[in-house]
């Protein structure tokens, strides 16, 4: 499913209700709290540091040393703390049992390095005050704009493997994320808020790689597997737009979607400067064997908006729900303008929100109330009961320009 689940309410977050069967909606964060988040992260950062522009970390090093090639630091966190903005932190092969918090512009380069966040529940304000804790790596705030994270394995985090929040122009490339989101299946005290279940719907812990109110950033060439969910792009504290998710593998994330773009901000329809998930490009990815949809764009409650996104040339195979899902669950939403083009879609599952649980679907477009207009063209669909399923007032441009194998029982519904 990957769209994240509804959450129980807390003193800092306002839970909103949406369809109980949907695992395609997510945490409802109060906009007042989102404003506090924005203000707080604007002030987030580390004390100004001086020193070399290239620092090194290695097992057997010392955090009392200069973090040089010949005298490396012992921990990534210490190197990040003492590094001047613009520095590169090179992390040598080994396993580092820590969380890494980046609030200034840095390049973190792993050379066979593993971040093992087993049991670690730290965070940074204001996120930790909202219960958003337990990620393996956090890249947060405008000070971190332009940061690069490459070449790491991140595993065993209670929540996200990598969370980027309230920042821009970040590059996350060639990392492996596995066995994260453990709060979705294991008890922690405190439990990360993102992992909290509501009723029969499990939490998602923010998925393995989460862009939260992030703009103009790239997630490229990552291998994301065996987590609760894969990639998540959300807008709790501001819009998420202009991002590129390309040439990644998202596979065997057993409970949620491979790549999910759900809006969680009720101001998104009224003001795109406050929220919305839009103008993102999802291209050339493999999304396979995930518990939810291969790729999903969802609006769970009034005012939310996931629109004008491009899903191009992906392979969406054998997922538990539809290969592509576009959902509008209430009046006053916007999921129009999304473009689904040139994807290979085969052997995916059902969409219990709109269709009975025995019908497998290649592309699902459903709206409870508002008219939806999307473009769906040039896709190759096989091994499905229905190739393209429409529920509600749905206008699909290019509908007959798709290609259906003989293993599709009903090409268009």
Report pLDDT digits (tens) over 67-123. 999 999 999 999 999 999 999 999 999 999 999 999 999 999 999 999 999 999 999
By CB neighbour count within 10 A (0-12 exposed, 13-18 middle, 19+ buried), where does 213 fall? Answer: buried
Give the chain's mean pLDDT. 88
Rounded distance, CA 67 to CA 393, Å? 60
pLDDT band at 185 (very low <50, low <70, confident <90, very high): confident
Q: What is the average pLDDT across 57-70?
A: 96
Tell me, what's the pLDDT at 120?
A: 97
Whether the predicted pLDDT of 20 surpasses 70: no
Domains of the chain: 31-44+124-412 (2.160.20)
- DSSP structure class, residue 292: S
Rounded distance, CA 119 to CA 135, Å? 10
pLDDT band at 251 (very low <50, low <70, confident <90, very high): very high
Tell me, what's the pLDDT at 60?
A: 95
Whether the predicted pLDDT of 199 surpasses 70: no
Q: What is the average pLDDT across 148-159?
A: 98
Task: Judge contact between 154 and 176, C-beta under 8 A.
Answer: yes
Tell me, what's the pLDDT at 357?
A: 82
pTM of the model: 0.90
Whether the predicted pLDDT of 30 surpasses 80: no
pLDDT band at 2 (very low <50, low <70, confident <90, very high): very low
pLDDT band at 130 (very low <50, low <70, confident <90, very high): confident
- pLDDT (tens digit per residue) in 344-386: 999 999 999 899 889 999 999 999 999 999 999 999 999 999 9
Rounded distance, CA 33 to CA 14, Å? 9
pLDDT band at 187 (very low <50, low <70, confident <90, very high): confident
Q: What is the average pLDDT across 205-225?
A: 97
Q: Which stretch of DSSP H or E encloses residue 317?
A: strand 315-317
Task: Judge contact between 238 and 38, C-beta under 8 A.
Answer: yes
Tell me, what's the pLDDT at 54?
A: 96
Tell me, what's the pLDDT at 224?
A: 98
């Amino acid at each position: 499913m990957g769209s994240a689940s509804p959450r129980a309410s807390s003193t800092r977050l306002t839970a909103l209700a949406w369809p109980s069967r949907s695992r395609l909606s997510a945490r409802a964060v109060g906009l007042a709290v989102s404003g506090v988040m924005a203000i707080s992260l604007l002030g987030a950062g580390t004390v100004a540091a001086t020193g070399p522009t290239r620092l090194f970390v290695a097992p057997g090093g010392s955090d009392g040393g200069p973090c040089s090639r010949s005298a490396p630091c012992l921990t990534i966190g210490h190197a990040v703390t003492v590094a001047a903005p613009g520095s590169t932190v090179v992390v040598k092969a080994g396993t580092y049992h820590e969380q890494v918090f980046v609030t200034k512009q840095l390049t973190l380069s792993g050379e066979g390095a593993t971040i093992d966040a087993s049991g670690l529940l730290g965070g940074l304000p204001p996120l930790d005050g909202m219960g958003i804790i337990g990620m393996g790596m956090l890249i947060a705030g405008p000070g971190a704009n332009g940061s690069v994270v490459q070449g790491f394995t991140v595993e065993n985090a209670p929540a996200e493997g990598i969370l980027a929040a309230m920042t821009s122009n970040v590059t996350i490339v060639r990392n492996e994320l596995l066995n994260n989101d453990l709060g979705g299946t294991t008890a922690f005290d405190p439990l990360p808020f993102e992992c909290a279940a509501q009723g029969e719907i499990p939490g998602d812990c923010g998925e393995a790689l989460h862009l939260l109110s992030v703009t103009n950033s790239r997630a490229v060439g990552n291998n994301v597997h065996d987590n609760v969910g894969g990639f998540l792009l959300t807008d709790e504290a501001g819009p998420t737009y202009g991002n590129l998710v390309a040439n990644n593998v998202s596979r065997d994330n057993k409970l949620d979607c491979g790549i999910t773009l759900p809006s969680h901000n009720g101001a998104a329809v009224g003001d795109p400067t406050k929220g919305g998930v839009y103008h993102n490009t999802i291209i050339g990815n493999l999304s396979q064997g995930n518990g939810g949809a291969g790729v999903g764009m969802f609006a769970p409650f009034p005012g939310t908006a996931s629109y004008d996104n491009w899903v191009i040339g992906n392979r969406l195979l054998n997922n538990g729900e539809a290969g592509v899902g576009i959902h509008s669950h209430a009046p006053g939403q916007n999921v129009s303008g999304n473009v689904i083009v040139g994807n290979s879609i085969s052997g995916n599952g059902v969409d219990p929100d709109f269709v009975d649980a025995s019908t497998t679907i290649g592309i699902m477009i459903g709206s409870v109330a508002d008219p939806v207009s999307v473009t769906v063209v040039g896709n190759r669909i096989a091994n499905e009961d229905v190739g393209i399923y429409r529920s509600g007032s749905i206008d699909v441009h290019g509908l007959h320009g798709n290609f259906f194998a003989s293993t599709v029982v009903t090409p268009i519904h």
